[in-house]
Homo-oligomer: A and B are copies of this chain.
C-alpha cells in the first residue's frame, strides 16, 4: 500500500528511502524545495510540489504520514489536510507531538471520519541503515494493522522494534517517556565522566574508560557507545560549548510526573541541569549572591 510522506527532513527523507527500499511506493512532499530535491531520483519515491498533490496521488483509503516538527508545522499541516481527506483515510503523526495534543487531534479528525495514529520514532540518522524503533497508538486493531504495514518496513526487522502500544496518544506518550529516560541516562553518564575528569591528579583517559565500559560493564549502552565514539577525537571535550538545549519531550515528561504525582527526581534534575547550562539559573544565583552580601550587611528595616 502506497503512502504519502509529508516532511522530508533528516528523519522523513530517510524513512521515505527505507520504505521505498522495502517496496512501498512513497508520495513525498516537503514545503522546502531543497528537501524535495535532496530526494530526487530516489527509486520508489515520487516528489510533489504541494500537499494536495501528494495526497491526491494516493488511492483511497489513503495513509498520510507526517514527519514534521511538533507544534505549528504539524498543526497547520493537519488543518490543511482536513480539506483533502475523506472518511476512511488515516493520518499518522510520526513527529514528537505532545500526547495530549494527539488525543485532541484524533477527536477532531474523527469528526470527519478520518483515522489518526500517533507514532513515536526513535533512531536518528542511524535509522536508515539499522531500522527505527516505532511505538504507536491507534484507536482500534484495524487502524493499528494499517500502521503496522509501514512499521514492519521501518523497524530493524519485521517482527521487532515496533509496537502498537495502546489507544491514540499511547504512541507519543511512550516516546515522550523514552526521551525522558534518555535525559536521565545521558546526565548520569555526563556526571560520571565529569567526576573522572575532576580527579585531575589521576590523569584518567576518559576515552579509554568509555571504550572499556562498553565491554562487559553494567553501564554498557548505546549512549555510552556514542560517548566513546565522541571521546575518540583528541580534544573532543574542549571542542564544544557547555550548552545543552532541551526539547519538548523532556519538559513534558516532568509535566507528566507532576500531573500524575509520580516522583521523577532524576529526570527532573536532568532537565533542570540543562536549563542551568543555558544560563537560566543566573537570576537565582544573583539573588543568592545578594543574600550572602547581606549577611555582612547594612541595616535591615524592621
Binding site for B on A (CB under 8 A): 10, 122-127, 130-133, 135, 137, 155-157, 160-163, 165-167, 169-170, 173-174, 177-199, 202-205, 208-209, 211-213, 215-232, 236-238, 240-246, 251, 253-278, 280-301
Contact = CB atoms under 8 A, between A and B. Distances in A.
Given A191-B265, A243-B285, A263-B273, 20 more contacts: A125-B297, A131-B215, A155-B216, A156-B215, A174-B196, A177-B193, A180-B188, A181-B188, A190-B291, A191-B264, A231-B290, A237-B283, A241-B289, A242-B282, A244-B292, A263-B276, A263-B280, A273-B281, A273-B284, A276-B281
A153 to B, nearest CB: 13
Contacts of A269: 265-266, 268-269
Contact of A266 (B187, B225, B297, B301): B187
Given A221-B222, A281-B273, A286 B242 contact: yes
Contacts of A135: 209, 212
A266 B276 contact: no
Given A242-B286, A274-B288, A178 B190 contact: no
Given A258-B251, A276-B276, A197 B237 contact: no
Contacts of A226: 291, 294-295, 297, 300
Contact of A208 (B163, B225, B275): B163
A244 B189 contact: no
Contact of A125 (B174, B245, B277, B295): B295
A242 to B, nearest CB: 4
A274 B195 CA distance: 16
Number of copies: 4
A196 B99 CA distance: 13
B191 A294 contact: no
A178 B213 contact: yes
B166 A202 contact: yes
Given A161-B215, A218-B223, A296-B10, A242 B289 contact: yes
Contacts of A217: 122-123, 133, 178, 222
A223 B221 contact: yes
Contacts of A213: 122, 133, 178
B281 A277 contact: yes
B194 A180 contact: no
Contacts of A180: 188, 191-192, 195
A9 to B, nearest CB: 12
A174 B221 contact: no
A185 B182 contact: no
A283 B165 contact: no
Contacts of A167: 202
B296 A163 contact: no
Contact of A181 (B181, B192, B208): B192
Contacts of A266: 184, 187-188, 191, 266, 269-270, 273
